[in-house]
Amino acid sequence: AQRVTQPEKLLSVFKGAPVELKCNYSYSGSPELFWYVQYSRQRLQLLLRHISRESIKGFTADLNKGETSFHLKKPFAQEEDSAMYYCALSAWGATNKLIFGTGTLLAVQP
Partner 1 sequence: ETGVTQSPTHLIKTRGQQVTLRCSSQSGHNTVSWYQQALGQGPQFIFQYYREEENGRGNFPPRFSGLQFPNYSSELNVNALELDDSALYLCASSLDAGTSTDTQYFGPGTRLTVL
Q: How many residues touch partner 1 (CB under 8 A)?
A: 25
**What is the C-alpha to C-alpha distance for residues 10 and 62, in angstroms, rounded to an integer?**
21
> Between 76 and 92, whose beta carbon lies closer to partner 1?
92
Q: Which amino acid is at 64?
A: N
- Say if CB 62 and CB 48 are below 8 A apart: no
As measured in angstroms, the least distance from the Cβ of 11 to partner 1 is 16
40 is an interface residue for partner 1 by CB under 8 A: no
Q: Which amino acid is at 79?
A: E
Residue 101: strand, helix, or coil: coil
74 is an interface residue for partner 1 by CB under 8 A: no
92 is an interface residue for partner 1 by CB under 8 A: yes
11 is an interface residue for partner 1 by CB under 8 A: no
**What is the C-alpha to C-alpha distance for residues 70 and 85, in angstroms, rounded to an integer?**
13
Per CB under 8 A, residues contacting partner 1 are 4, 6, 32, 43-46, 49, 51, 86, 88, 90-103
